[in-house]
Chains A and B, each alone.
Chain A
Amino acid sequence: MTDYERLIPLLVDNEIEFIIVGGAAATAHGSARLTLDLDIVYRRSQQNLARLVHALEPTEPYLRGAPPGLPFNWSVATLQKGLNFTLITTMGALDLLGEVVGGGAYEQLKPYTIILQVSGRECLCLSLKRLIEVKRAAGRPKDLEAIAELEQILAERQE
């Protein structure tokens, strides 16, 4: 299980610049679909990478699905060498995305966010309309049902 009530406050309390996207963003907007992880787009500034490494260190981040014992070094240097990381932590599954198809990086997505209150903290979440647009742009067949639900939520909110 991914513990959103601990993971999101951990990121916020360490002043990490991030935007909730993907299935967790859909949940925040009212989706009833099951998602198993927390997807975030993170700002790739040196300071933010350092904060991410420091904040997540106690949660023992490791590459999800990778065999145990790989020489995975959780560090700023590792984050600089990659872009998107699918991690398993002691608080659950966490995907760190440097950018998303159809939406771009943190800076491009930030104007299309809403402020969420989660466990008493404020954090950024991709707006419902932008989430739909990004999922449409990704063009993945597995997203079609999720997009249909999100568009239905948008319609319900407009009524």
Chain B
Amino acid sequence: MDNAPDKSDTIAPDPVIEAYKKDIDVTLIRENLRLTVDQRFQQLMKLQRFAEELQNAGQKARQKP
């Protein structure tokens, strides 16, 4: 449900932002838009856990002589 008073979804293009759009993976967006909001948060938490594991692994690797 949308509470927003401005129903127009149009935003004036910004040339800098347009340049960044070339690198956006639209397939990932399409996958996410198929999910529920709960599923999107669950996926984010999985990603956070994975990032933490990578950070810990990196720290351990740096501590090795």
Q: Are A147 and B20 in contact (CB under 8 A)?
A: yes
The contact string, 1 if C-beta is below 8 Å from chain A, for chain B 13-50, is: 01011101101111011111101111011101101110
The reply on B61 being an interface residue by CB < 8 A is no
The reply on A28 being an interface residue by CB < 8 A is yes
Among B2, B17, B26, B51, contact of A147 (Cβ-Cβ < 8 Å): B17
| Chain A residues positioned under 8 Å from B21 (CB to CB) | 148, 151-152
The reply on A70 being an interface residue by CB < 8 A is no
A-B contacts, CB under 8 A, total: 113
Among B2, B33, B44, B47, contact of A153 (Cβ-Cβ < 8 Å): B33
Interface size class of A (residues with CB under 8 A): 35 or more
Among A116, A130, A157, contact of B37 (Cβ-Cβ < 8 Å): A116
Q: A-contacting residues of B (Cβ < 8 Å)?
A: 1-6, 9, 11, 14, 16-18, 20-21, 23-26, 28-33, 35-38, 40-42, 44-45, 47-49, 51-52
Q: B-contacting residues of A (Cβ < 8 Å)?
A: 1-5, 24, 27-28, 30-32, 34-36, 110-119, 124, 127-130, 132-133, 136, 144-145, 147-149, 151-154, 156-158
